[in-house]
Amino acid sequence: MTIHLSGQTALITGATGELGRVIARTLAECGADIAVHYHSNADKAAELCAEIEGMGRRALAVQADVSNAQSVAAMRAAIEEKLGAPTIVVLNAVSKYDWKPVLEQPLKDFEDQFRSCVAQTVLVTQAFVPAMVARGSGRILGISSEAALQCYTLHSAYAAGKRGMDGVLRCLAREVGPHGVTVNQIAPGWVVTDKDREAGKESHPGYESAVPLRRRGADTDIAHAVTFLASEQAGFITGAFLPVCGGNVMVGI
């Protein structure tokens, strides 16, 4: 089976991040044109666009605060003008903060994660899904985390944000399914990225010992799952929450 995304346009939020870059490259390798969203790293966005254009694909770097409605609307206008309406949207952007116990975590961090995960999901889908509905097809893909299921110590704000995102996307899957739009989530484990490779820190025995496959996955494992769910081969899959973590978490039935 070969995945072809020719004629598709994908928006990846947080595309300049460690995982976002690999997702963008992989979708482009399969034929999609790419809207490279970034918040502050304009140089990395330009570098990624040049790489994608080198593959023969179209690419556009677009800055936005995905938790702000006006900023998202401006991003939509820029993408539609240059690339057309996206047929694939990957919700990958997430903000960073210092993780602390619940009793010590400032409320502002919970609010930040709500805006990063939930508000982003609401605003971006409100901006881009109507065109998918009108067309009768589309793919929404949320990047969650195994942490949303583990709920370990220090994870409270992050887990709360990802669980809120999960609720929005499950409801959306029911609402837009009749229009041919699928909505799915991928939950990565602690995967190896270029940052780890450059630092020589691919292995972490303490983490790997609890993973049934006894290793960390790679950023490409996540990108491959995203690409499959974005493809026509996944046209009858919606509302799914897919852990890609070597079995470290398993969704119950």
Active site residues: 158
Name the amino acid, one letter, at 53: E
What the block records as the tokens of 237 is 């899959």
Using an 8 Å Cβ cutoff, are 167 and 124 in contact? no
**Which contiguous run of DSSP H or E holds residue 60?**
strand 59-63
| 56 Cβ neighbours under 8 A, 6+ residues apart | none
Using an 8 Å Cβ cutoff, are 219 and 193 in contact? yes
Q: Distance between CA atoms of 121 and 115, rounded to whole angstroms?
A: 9
* Chain position carrying tokens 């034929």: 31
Q: Distance between CA atoms of 75 and 81, rounded to whole angstroms?
A: 10
Q: Distance between CA atoms of 154 and 138, rounded to whole angstroms?
A: 36
Which strands, in side-by-side order, build the sheet including 138-143? 59-63, 33-38, 9-12, 88-91, 138-143, 181-188, 241-244
Q: Distance between CA atoms of 196 and 203, rounded to whole angstroms?
A: 9
| 253 Cβ neighbours under 8 A, 6+ residues apart | none
Helix axes 219-230, 18-29, angle to 10 degrees: 50
